[in-house]
Structure 1
């Protein structure tokens, strides 16, 4: 990457591609729950949200944010280990991905609070990923969710917003709009 490219972006396309290829291989064959859409699509949307924020919040470490955005589900949803991510992408990325990974040993109702607490111990770039992840996920809920699940999911979105809004004003505003728009699904199923 030459100097003019570095000034134009606060992230590297080569680093993006390395993480993307790793995620594509690890998540191969997985689909977005309730659909036939390849899971890599979700990871692309989350990274797109982060890239949009990085274009405004230029002081952020874009490479850290983008790698964590693309890899945020790799430990949780594949056989990829923390050690593998640390070796290939470094400690900061591995720690960020681990913070974004739900602790499956906890009861489900405790997992979000635990995850948010761990995310807050990391740099704001990791906060950005969680905000972008929920923005991506606040689409029309899967057809098999009942009203209670839909309401709880929106409430989790509010919990994420309240805990992490200082990590990215741009993404916090996007998430606030998504939470508001999601109300439509909370009144009928």
Structure 2
């Protein structure tokens, strides 16, 4: 499969949509606008796309920018489908936790749904966790940090085949996260 380069116009459309949907939200524990997180996730995906062939780049980039709009805003699947098409909407939906499930089951459910999607969706989840494995919020206990690191390993184990470069980057981040336990 040949690369289908991502479109700057589609990027801008998805970025603007996400910025409006997440307006007023901040990266947890900071005063940084939430759109920064989405920018970082899309940057990770774009970097991986530069080194890997055979991806639907528009799908990967749009889902990177939109990955939290269903889960964290009032945006619906139908709105995403109308604006970006069913394939993008299905990807974003699979990246969204099903909040009707017990919290302990949500990640496994999401990972199972992601694995049924094109591999670009797995790339987004890997990039999301790469981006999130930064210094943990000061309020987090060692137990919370350990659960978050274990969840990152669960994501890695489930989705590593989606992107060699993002998988390697996530694995390095998981190992480096040990510094926060000292």
Residue 24 of structure 1 aligns with which residue?
A: 19
Q: Quote the Cα distance in structure 1 between the aligned partners of 2:6 and 2:134.
A: 27
Residue 155 in 1 paired to residue 150 in 2? yes
What is the CA deviation profile of residues 110-130 of structure 1, one whole-angstrom value per residue up to 9, with x for unaligned ones?
A: 111000000000000000000
Checking the alignment, whether the CA contact within 8 Å between 2:91 and 2:117 is kept in structure 1 is yes
- CA-based RMSD of the aligned residues comes to 1.3
Checking the alignment, whether the CA contact within 8 Å between 2:3 and 2:54 is kept in structure 1 is no
CA-CA distance at 1:10 after TM superposition: 1.5
Q: Quote the Cα distance in structure 2 between the aligned partners of 1:183 and 1:122.
A: 31
| 1:76-87 matched pairs, under 5 angstroms | 76-87=71-82
Q: Quote the Cα distance in structure 1 between the aligned partners of 2:68 and 2:5.
A: 23
Q: Quote the Cα distance in structure 1 between the aligned partners of 2:13 and 2:52.
A: 23
Residue 109 in 1 paired to residue 104 in 2? yes
| Aligned partner (choices 163, 166, 172) of residue 171 of structure 1 | 166
Q: Quote the Cα distance in structure 2 between the aligned partners of 1:14 and 1:166.
A: 29
Q: Evaluate the alpha carbon distance shift between residue 65 and residue 8 of structure 1 in structure 2; reply closer, same or farther with a 3 A threshold.
A: closer
CA-CA distance at 1:59 after TM superposition: 1.1
Residue 9 of structure 2 aligns with which residue?
A: 14
Q: Quote the Cα distance in structure 2 between the aligned partners of 1:63 and 1:155.
A: 31
Gaps of 5+ in 2: none
CA-CA distance at 1:58 after TM superposition: 2.6
Partner of 1:145, secondary structure, is coil
Q: Quote the Cα distance in structure 1 between the aligned partners of 2:58 and 2:74.
A: 24
CA-CA distance at 1:140 after TM superposition: 0.3
What is the CA deviation profile of residues 132-182 of structure 1, one whole-angstrom value per residue up to 9, with x for unaligned ones?
A: 000000000011111100000000000000000000000000000000000
Residue 55 in 1 paired to residue 50 in 2? yes
Gaps of 5+ in 1: 1-6
The TM-score with structure 2 as length reference comes to 0.97
Q: Quote the Cα distance in structure 1 between the aligned partners of 2:4 and 2:162.
A: 19
Checking the alignment, whether the CA contact within 8 Å between 1:10 and 1:58 is kept in structure 2 is no
Residue 181 in 1 paired to residue 137 in 2? no
Residue 90 of structure 1 aligns with which residue?
A: 85
Q: Quote the Cα distance in structure 1 between the aligned partners of 2:159 and 2:171.
A: 12
Checking the alignment, whether the CA contact within 8 Å between 1:73 and 1:101 is kept in structure 2 is yes
Q: Quote the Cα distance in structure 1 between the aligned partners of 2:31 and 2:106.
A: 27
Q: Quote the Cα distance in structure 2 between the aligned partners of 1:162 and 1:131.
A: 10
